[in-house]
Chains A and B, each alone.
Chain A
Amino acid sequence: MADIPVFFLHGLAYAGLLFLVSAGLTLVFGMMNVLNFAHAAMYMLGAYFSYSIMMHATGQFWLSLMVCPVILFIIGALIERFLLRRAHVHGHVQELLLTFGLAYIITELVKWYWGNYPLAVNIEGFLGSTVPIFGITYPVYRIFIFACAAFIGVVLAMILYKTRLGIILRAAVNDNEMANTLGVNVPMVFMGVFAFGAALSGFAGVIAGPLLSTFPGMAQEILIDAFVVIVVGGFGSLGGAVIASLLIGELQSFGVLLFPKLSMALVYLLMAAILIIKPSGLFGEEQ
């Protein structure tokens, strides 16, 4: 069973990616009560922008890792300010429809500009090499993904629970009207959180590019998995997102090893089981 460490590490890498995507999704949901269907489209845009940057400036992976989240932060802020806020007046269904429509448009634009086929992003240098670990040689890049996710998870937790900004954010989640009355600029906070979620998603997209291929279906693929993470972990819970990401990453990875035919269904079975046993998710509050 020499495969086990390999599959375990594969699972960790995918879990890292899943966490980066679902953390933004769950933050935005927890705060604004908006389920952002366009979230994964931001992830895809991140991957494609990164591809284009690395086409023009060969090997500048670090550059695109810095630039893409900034671009997506701006896009996210614009979407929140000019589209989502307008739809917010009409209610939740309208917001969901809007983000769904945006995801659709972004996917079509991506197909138009970059084409409807997979693009490969190659990673060079130290990140593209392998290291010996647990008695096997393993690609550095997958470890790098997990490290990134762990780092961001810790930073997020620190911001949310140790800083003044975190207090404001949590207050806005808890009761945004009260926070507004107490002098917090809640619309500004919402815009910031939405834009930050988009940036996080774009960051995930950049690091996903070299791991998985960059293609127009990538958004929907990760969106479903991120949704499962949210259902399993509980809505709006960052801790739940961590545990559920690990669970689903490993389940996917070992599912391929143990039940190759059923690997895809396993994740859904887990979700259905959670729905039956604890509909609010592992760490979700009872509704």
Chain B
Amino acid sequence: MSKQRNTFITIIVLFLIGAAMPYVLKQYHLNMLNEIIIFALFAVSYNLLLGYAGLLSFGHAMFFGLSAFMTAIGIIHIPGLSLWSAVLIGLAAAVVAGFLFGGLLLRHKGAYFALLTLAFNSLFYAVAIKWHSVTGGDDGLSMTRPDLSLGFATIPLAGLNYFYYLTLVIVGAAIIFCWYFTHTAMGKTVLLMRENEERMKFLGYNTNVSRLILFTFTGAVAGLAGTFYALHFQFVSISAISVDMTTAVLLMTFVGGTGKFWGPILGAFVYIILQNYLSNITDRWPLFMGIIFVIMVLYIPGGLSQIIISIWERFTGNKESNGEVAEEKEAVI
């Protein structure tokens, strides 16, 4: 009971800190923070696949990019489209794509699944680059954020501050929903399926259906992140749907740590900050990210969150003996 209350308090405190940020940070940094929040959601959705279900996908950017493009296309082609409808269009596209392609991709597991997701990501990329009349091809699409209509009032989102609050509330809520999802029966099913699928089948679970639901869900969450990415930059380039974007989310998730729910959030922080500062110093920053990634794969498979936890344990001297934590540690694969 007290654990639940602690979590509740933590969430409230984090939101309050987030709400205070526009008064503390400069516009440049607030912009960066907004980007971090969006990518944190993207990374969290990726970790639901990689960390919780043990599915290594190299095609997560297809949902992210698809939603980003659908949102931008909606705003450009439908005059007077409300913000909510634009978000819904993006989300719906990701759900449909997740369901259809999930059915196809999940016919295989392991290395085969990884290969297929990469191939389908390339298909999405190829379509985006060739279908110039709709996606703008290499030029990308630029648009203006519509204002937020609440029914009784209209909030202008052209400036960053209000849009930041919208992101904080919606994307933050989505992250919390993902966290909640991992504690539902469905979330537990996925976790147990990774550990012993055979047994879950014997217990009467239809593991294929569970996996498809999870895949569609993570696709939708990635789609929401993509929608906000489009709204944030007010511009969508084909890089949003490229394999490079998948690589980025993979690096964030893995560097942050797949074993903990908050690992990918930390990873998004580190990645975006490194991207912003290292790219000022050297053009070669992706090389450094790659080297960090490979070192982590070889020596610290739990990522930064593993380091933090082991330091924490050394200081406090007590291992977290909660059963759930031990279970989540197993998520380090």
Interface residues of A (CB under 8 A from B): 29, 33-35, 37, 83, 86-87, 90-94, 96-98, 100-102, 104-105, 108-109, 112, 220, 223-224, 227-228, 230-231, 235, 261, 264-265, 268, 271-272, 275-276, 279, 287
Contact = CB atoms under 8 A, between A and B. Distances in A.
B254 interface: yes
A173 to B, nearest CB: 15
A104 B56 CA distance: 17
B183 interface: no
Interface in B165-208: none
Contacts of A87: 297-298
Nearest to A91: B333
Contacts, number: 96
Contacts of A91: 333
B104 interface: yes
B92 interface: no
Interface in B277-312: 284, 286-287, 290-291, 293-294, 297-298, 301
A101 B118 contact: no
Given A87-B298, A224-B119, A227-B115, A101 B286 contact: no
29 contacts: A92-B110, A93-B50, A93-B54, A93-B56, A94-B333, A96-B56, A98-B294, A98-B297, A98-B298, A101-B294, A104-B247, A104-B286, A108-B284, A109-B287, A112-B287, A220-B122, A224-B119, A227-B115, A227-B118, A227-B119, A230-B115, A231-B112, A231-B116, A261-B130, A265-B126, A268-B119, A268-B126, A275-B116, A276-B104
A97 B119 contact: no
B115 A97 contact: no
Interface string B114-135: 1110111011001100100000
A231 B122 CA distance: 15
A86 B295 CA distance: 11
Interface residues of B, number: 36
Given A104-B290, A112-B287, A227-B118, A279 B107 contact: yes
B19 interface: no
Contact of A264 (B115, B126, B286): B126
B58 interface: yes
Interface in B220-277: 243, 247, 250, 254
Contacts of B111: 29, 33-35, 92, 96
Contacts of A102: 294
A265 B56 CA distance: 24
Contact of A86 (B110, B120, B122, B298): B298
Contact of A93 (B243, B284, B333): B333
B108 interface: yes
A34 B112 CA distance: 10
Given A108-B284, A231-B115, A279-B108, A264 B130 contact: yes
Contact of A268 (B114, B123, B284, B287): B123
A37 B130 CA distance: 25
Contacts of B116: 227, 231, 275
B127 A265 contact: yes
A221 to B, nearest CB: 9
Nearest to B291: A105
Contacts of B287: 105, 108-109, 112
A195 to B, nearest CB: 19
Contacts of A287: 108
A113 to B, nearest CB: 11
A240 to B, nearest CB: 14
B58 A100 contact: yes
Given A97-B254, A279-B108, A83 B123 contact: no
A106 to B, nearest CB: 9
A227 B104 CA distance: 16
Contacts of A104: 247, 286, 290, 293
A181 B256 CA distance: 41
Contact of B115 (A35, A93, A109): A35
Nearest to A281: B112
A154 to B, nearest CB: 27
A98 B110 CA distance: 15
Contacts of A264: 126, 130
Contacts of B130: 261, 264
Nearest to A84: B298
Nearest to B127: A265
B79 to A, nearest CB: 29
Interface in B49-66: 50, 54, 56, 58
Nearest to A279: B107
Nearest to B119: A227
10 A-B pairs with least C-beta separation: A35-B111, A108-B287, A105-B290, A101-B294, A104-B290, A268-B123, A224-B122, A264-B126, A101-B293, A279-B107
B119 A231 contact: yes
Given A87-B298, A96-B111, A265-B123, 14 more contacts: A29-B111, A87-B297, A90-B301, A96-B56, A101-B290, A101-B297, A102-B294, A104-B247, A112-B284, A112-B287, A220-B122, A228-B119, A231-B115, A279-B108
A104 B118 CA distance: 14
A91 B297 CA distance: 11
Q: Identify the interface centre among A97, A109, A265, A275: most chain B CB within 10 Å of its CB.
A: A97
